[in-house]
Structure 1
Amino acid sequence: MTDAHPPGGPVRDAGDAWVESGDGRKYWGRFGAAGLLVHDRARGVLLQHRAGWSHFGGTWGIPGGARHQFESAVDGAVRESHEEAGVPAESIELRFDSVLDLGFWSYTTVIVEAVEPFEPVVSDPESIALAWVPLAEVETLPLHPGFADSWPGLRSQLERRVTVVVDVANVVGSRPDGWWKDRAGAAQRFVARLGRLAHEGLDAQALDLDFNRWWPAYVAVVEGQARGVHTDDDAREPGHELRAGVSVVDAAGSGDDAIVDVVRELDGAVVVVTSDRELRERVERLGATTRGAGWLTDLLDATS
C-alpha cells in the first residue's frame, strides 16, 4: 500500500502522481494502484511496515503502489511486491482480488497464496521492515486505514480454495466441430484454452462468490483416446509468469468414476462442469456444485 516516492527521489513512471478528489482528498497513482496480499498457510500474511515519510507512515499494510499506464492490476501488484519485498512470482498462485473503485481512482488488492516458501527482502526505502504475521495477530498492529477497513472481509475468504473439475469428454463433445476425428488433439486444444482461462480468472458472479475476480484451480479429467494430454504451465506465455493452476487427470477406466474420485479427495469449494445428469447427481451428493458444459464453453469463447 505504498503511495509515494521518497522525498526528493525521482518519479519513476508517469503513474507516479497524486489524483485529487473533488473534496481535496489525494490518492496515489494516476492510473490507480494495486497491492499484493500474500498468504502462507504456515506463517500467515506478509505485511510491510511503511516508511515514515509515506502517507500514513509507520503503519502496517501490504506491498503495493501506483500502476503503470496500461498495466493490469495483477501485474502491477506483482511488480510492486517484487520491487519492495522481493516476492518471487514463481512462488505464488492467484486466489482472488478485491477492488475499491471511486470512479476517478481505484485500488486493487490481489490475494495470492505462497505455494513455495520464500523470505521477503527489504529492497527499497519504502519499507522499514517486512514480516510474516499470523492471521490472529494482524489486528493487533497499527494498520494502514485502508487495509484495516478491508481486512475483515479479506480474512473471511483468505483460506477459501476453489477448484473447477472438468469432464473434458462431455464439454468437448458438446459441440459438433469434428472433435471425434482426433480426440487427443481436441482434448489438447481444449486444455490449452483452459490454461488461458485459468490465467485470466473468473468474474466472482460466475462462481456465486464475493469480491471481484477469482482464480480457481482446474482439474481436467480425460479418458479413452484423449489420455496423455499435457498442460503448458512450464512454458508460460509472455506476461503469464504466474502459475496457471491447471492439472490433468487420466482416467484409467470410466471418466465419471475418476471425476467422483477427484471430488472426493478435494477440500474447499468444488465446481464440476458436466452436462451428464447422472454424474451431476453423484458429485452433488458429495457436496460439489455443478455447471453445464455451456457455462464453460461460453467462458472460453470470451477469453482472449
Structure 2
Amino acid sequence: MSDGDGWVTLPDGSRRWGRFGSAGLLLRAPGQRSGPSGRVLMQHRAVGSHQGGTWGVPGGARNSDESPLQAALREFAEEVSGDPGAFELIGLHRQEHAVWRYDTVLARTASGGRLEAANWESDEVRWVGVGEVAGLRLLPAFGRTWPLLREALGRRLALDVDAATVLPDESPAALERLRDDLSELAASGVAAEALPDGFAEAGLHLWFPRISLLVGAAAPVPAPAPGVEVVRARPGAAVGAPGQDAADGVRTDTLLVTGGDGTERGGAATVPPAWLAEAGVLSNAVEGVRGAAEG
C-alpha cells in the first residue's frame, strides 16, 4: 500500500481519493480518421472503482515523495499496457479544492499505437477523437475542465535563449552551465504566473517548454542536453521563432530571452535576461542575470 492511498473529505462533504492529492496523464496523438485535432487516450473506469462507469484519464493518488508529474507517469504505467512512444510534455493543469488537488499533466506522442488496460481499475482504455470526447459519459470533474484542456492540447511553449545577451561571455564552460540550468527548467517547467501578461493564455498552471539555446556565430556549440536544443544563430537572421499553426495543428507560443527593449522580435515575445532569475534559472555562469535581478 502506498502512503498516498486514502480518502480526503472536501469542505462540501464529498470525498476524493489521495491523501496528498491525485494526478493523471492526458495524452494526445495524431488524428488519422479522427480529424486534424487528433486523439486522446481515455480510460473507462471500472464499475467497482470510484465514480466507476465514467470516462477520464489514467491517474490516481500521489505519494508524499512524488511530484505531480512523477505521480501521473507512474499511474499511467500502472494502468496502461503497451508502448505509448516518447512523450512531449505540454504542461499541467491544477484543480484546487482547499484540502485536496488534482493535477492533470498534458502530453503529446507521435505514436498513437495500440494500448490496453493493465489492471482492474479500467474496463477499457481507448483512443478517442478530440471532437468525440464531450459525447462520452465523463467523470464530472474532468468534464468541467475538458474545454480548457482541449484548447491547451493544441498549444506549445517554446523558449529561445539568446546566449550572447544572457552571458557575460560565451566561453565553453559558461555555455555548458547555462545549458544545464535550462535543462533543469525544461524538466521542472515554467509557472504560468512567471510568463508575461497575456502570453500563452490556455489556463495551464505550469508549462514544459521546448527550449533552444542560441549561440553566436563564433561561439563554441556545446552538445544538447535533455530538453535543450543548441542552435547556432545565423548572422543577420531574426532571433526567435514565430508563433504559428503547425502542420500537426499545434500552435507554438515563442518567448525569447534576450537583451534589448522588450518589444516583439521575429514573431516572438521578449523578456530580459533577468527573467531567467524569476523562472529559477541561475548559476555562476549567469552573472549578468544575477546582477540584473538584484539591482
TM-score w.r.t. structure 2 length? Answer: 0.83
The one-letter code of the counterpart of 1:220 is L
Report deviation, 1:104.
1.1
- 2:143 matched residue in structure 1: 148
Matches within 5 A, 1:89-108: 91-108=86-103
Report deviation, 1:166.
1.1
- 2:131 matched residue in structure 1: 136
Tell me, in whole angstroms, the C-alpha distance in 1 between the residues paired with 2:80 and 2:137.
20
Q: Alpha carbons of 1:89 and 1:168: their partners in 2 closer, same or farther (altered >3 Å)?
A: farther
The one-letter code of the counterpart of 1:271 is L
**Structure 1 contact 195–231 (Cα < 8 Å) conserved:** no
Q: Secondary structure at the match of 1:192?
A: helix
Q: Does 1:274 align with 2:273?
A: no
Tell me, in whole angstroms, the C-alpha distance in 2 between the residues paired with 1:150 and 1:162.
20
Match of 2:192 among 198, 204, 221: 204
Tell me, in whole angstroms, the C-alpha distance in 2 between the residues paired with 1:117 and 1:225.
42
Cα RMSD after superposing both structures: 2.3
Tell me, in whole angstroms, the C-alpha distance in 1 between the residues paired with 2:153 and 2:282.
28
Tell me, in whole angstroms, the C-alpha distance in 1 between the residues paired with 2:58 and 2:183.
28
Q: Does 1:37 align with 2:58?
A: no
Q: Secondary structure at the match of 2:142?
A: helix
Tell me, in whole angstroms, the C-alpha distance in 2 between the residues paired with 1:41 and 1:110.
18
Report deviation, 1:92.
0.8
Q: Alpha carbons of 1:249 and 1:68: their partners in 2 closer, same or farther (altered >3 Å)?
A: same
**Structure 1 contact 50–59 (Cα < 8 Å) conserved:** yes
Tell me, in whole angstroms, the C-alpha distance in 2 between the residues paired with 1:216 and 1:102.
27
Match of 2:14 among 16, 20, 25: 25
Identity %: 36
Match of 1:259 among 232, 236, 239: 239
Tell me, in whole angstroms, the C-alpha distance in 1 between the residues paired with 2:243 and 2:208.
21
Q: Alpha carbons of 1:170 and 1:146: their partners in 2 closer, same or farther (altered >3 Å)?
A: same
Report deviation, 1:258.
5.8
1:151-203 deviation digits (Å, cap 9, x = unpaired): 01111222011111111111113xxxxx46xx122111111111011111011
The one-letter code of the counterpart of 1:198 is A
1:264-294 deviation digits (Å, cap 9, x = unpaired): 88852111111134xx65xx25432110111
Tell me, in whole angstroms, the C-alpha distance in 2 between the residues paired with 1:122 and 1:184.
48
1:181-231 deviation digits (Å, cap 9, x = unpaired): xx1221111111110111110110222433211111111111244332112
Matches within 5 A, 1:1-304: 12-42=1-31, 43-86=38-81, 91-173=86-168, 179=169, 183-207=171-195, 208=197, 209=201, 210-233=203-226, 244=227, 246-251=228-233, 253-254=234-235, 257=237, 259=239, 262-263=241-242, 268-277=252-261, 284=264, 286-301=266-281
Q: Decide which structure has greater helix share.
A: 1
Q: Alpha carbons of 1:170 and 1:288: their partners in 2 closer, same or farther (altered >3 Å)?
A: same
Q: Secondary structure at the match of 2:117?
A: coil
Q: Alpha carbons of 1:172 and 1:285: their partners in 2 closer, same or farther (altered >3 Å)?
A: closer
Q: Alpha carbons of 1:259 and 1:88: their partners in 2 closer, same or farther (altered >3 Å)?
A: farther
The one-letter code of the counterpart of 2:172 is A
Tell me, in whole angstroms, the C-alpha distance in 1 between the residues paired with 2:153 and 2:41.
13
Q: Alpha carbons of 1:127 and 1:264: their partners in 2 closer, same or farther (altered >3 Å)?
A: closer
**Structure 2 contact 22–68 (Cα < 8 Å) conserved:** yes
Aligned pair count reads 267
Q: Secondary structure at the match of 1:268?
A: strand
1:54-99 deviation digits (Å, cap 9, x = unpaired): 1221111100001111211110011001110137686112111111
Report deviation, 1:50.
0.7
